[in-house]
Amino acid sequence: MRERERERERIVFCYFVCGRWCSIFPLLQVRIYREGAIHVAYIRGKRRKQEMTTIRRFRCTDLLRMSHVNLDHLTETFNMSFYLSYLAKWPDYCLVAEGVNNHMMGYIMGKAEGRGESWHGHVTAVTVAPEYRRQQLAKKLMNLLEEVTEKTYNAYFVDLFVRASNAPAIQMYQKLGYVIYRRVLRYYSGEEDGLDMRKAMPRDKDKKSIIPLKDPVTPEELEYD
Ligand X SMILES: CC(C)(COP(=O)(O)OP(=O)(O)OC[C@H]1O[C@@H](n2cnc3c(N)ncnc32)[C@H](O)[C@@H]1OP(=O)(O)O)[C@@H](O)C(=O)NCCC(=O)NCCS
Which among 2-10, 54-62, 71-79, 213-221 is the span making contact with ligand X, rule CB under 6 A? 71-79
Is residue 67 a contact point for ligand X (CB under 6 A)? no
Nearer Cβ to ligand X (109/138): 138
Is residue 162 a contact point for ligand X (CB under 6 A)? yes
Is residue 103 a contact point for ligand X (CB under 6 A)? no
Phi, psi of 99 (to 5 degrees): -105, -155
Is residue 166 a contact point for ligand X (CB under 6 A)? yes
Is residue 128 a contact point for ligand X (CB under 6 A)? yes
Nearer Cβ to ligand X (14/188): 188
Which among 86-94, 113-121, 160-168, 183-191 is the span making contact with ligand X, rule CB under 6 A? 160-168
Nearer Cβ to ligand X (9/225): 225
Is residue 152 a contact point for ligand X (CB under 6 A)? no
Q: What's the min distance (Å) between Cβ of 136 and ligand X?
A: 4
Which among 2-10, 40-48, 146-154, 168-176 is the span making contact with ligand X, rule CB under 6 A? 168-176
Is residue 139 a contact point for ligand X (CB under 6 A)? yes
Q: What's the min distance (Å) between Cβ of 135 and ligand X?
A: 5
One-letter amino acid identity for 140?
K
Q: Provide the 10 A C-beta neighbour count for residue 117.
A: 13
One-letter amino acid identity for 130?
P
| 8 A C-beta contact, residue 113 and residue 120 | yes
Chain residues binding ligand X by CB under 6 A are 72, 74-75, 126-128, 133-139, 160, 162, 166, 168-169, 171-172, 175
